Amino acid sequence: MSSHPKWYVSLLAKYLEKWERDEQAQLILIKGAGRAFSAGGDLKMFYEGRKSKDSCLEVVYRMYWLCYHIHTYKKTQVALVQGISMGGGASLMVPMKFSVVTEKTVFATPEASIGFHVDCGFSYMLSHLPGHLGEYLALTGARLNGKELVVAGLATHFVPLEKLPELEKRLISLNVGDENAVKATIEEFSLHVQLDEDSILNKKQIIDECFSKDTVADIIKSFEVEASKEGNEWIGPVLKGLKRSSPTGLKITLRSIREGRKQTLAESLKKEFRLTMNILRTTISADVYEGIRALTIDKDNAPKWDPPILDQVDDEKIDLVFQPFAEDLELKVPEQEDCRWDGKYENSAYAK
């Protein structure tokens, strides 16, 4: 049995389509194994395929196509998220009708820091958060815990970890798709959440002030001003991380989030497909491979970005990675109900 991400994505898509069509299937329950719900499996795959042209295209196409179907799924879904849920892995948590998190849940979208961008629909999801929290999470890769996820609207319920196995058993024995019945069952176990005093979600005024600025450079300048004020010591480490991130990744990510605010989910996923393929093809920079090397391969945490500073990242070059592909090479997102499961990779121009 293959452990390649392409295999997992294909299998998940196959089962989700089968269950949506199956009248006997009422409730779809997704849970992680061990300490992680889903996190970071594609980075190594990207790096290993860096010298082969479009070696990751199939899995990227399949994943973004699947993301659309997870968002628009017709049956009631519940995600039980007991651990790390990062990057693309979190696309199996946030869009669900019910997403249950615990005190051990950790969420983040750290892709910009390594020269990539927020993908798997997150340029759409983060851009629709209140104020400019989306820009903050996307650019800084800041982590949110379970309570914060519920308050931010990225999860629906907080259940203590020790109660999760019992909730799972109850949901399995329930086996009905009625949303009210599922919700009532989860709420027997869930707690009302109260944010910790130092939660980032209590810093909304500063985040909105700084991360509403037009450019990454202006955001950093505004953040530096706030950092100098009394009581804002929390900003220092966040600023340090921002300044160590890939300048190209930051610029692409900010623009993608801003565009996502005005796009449909389908438009955002098509855009993300273009961005990912252009980044993996090193159309304007090889930062993504340098970022993965420094973070997960050599683990020296000393990436050498090209270009190394924001001022040297040409906006015209950024335009290049956002350009539409030829129509037959775009991600095919089937928006008509009667052909909802069309557009698969095997029927695309790439497979031919």
Name the residues annotated as catalytic: 41, 88, 111, 119
Q: Give every CB contact of residue 63 below 8 A, 6+ residues apart in sequence.
A: 5, 9, 42, 88, 120
CB 88 within 8 A of CB 42: yes
Give the separation between CA 5 and CA 18, rounded to whole angstroms.
20
Identity of the amino acid at 71: H
Give the separation between CA 150 and CA 266, rounded to whole angstroms.
25
Closest alpha carbon to 93 in 48, 39, 49, 143? 39
CB 13 within 8 A of CB 69: yes
Longest dimension (CA), the chain: 61
Give the separation between CA 53 and CA 50, rounded to whole angstroms.
7
Give the separation between CA 202 and CA 233, rounded to whole angstroms.
14
Of the CA atoms within 13 Å of residue 348, those in its CB half-sphere come to: 20
Q: Helix, strand or coil for residue 79?
A: strand
Of the CA atoms within 13 Å of residue 111, those in its CB half-sphere come to: 31
CB 5 within 8 A of CB 66: no
Cα dihedral 252, 323, 278, 314 in deg (nearest 10): -50
Give the separation between CA 249 and CA 116, rounded to whole angstroms.
5
Closest alpha carbon to 80 in 142, 23, 163? 163
Q: Tokens standing for 346?
A: 């095997």
Q: Helix, strand or coil for residue 89?
A: helix
Residue whose entry in the numeric block shows the structure tokens 């997870």? 70
Residue whose entry in the numeric block shows the structure tokens 């999760």? 164
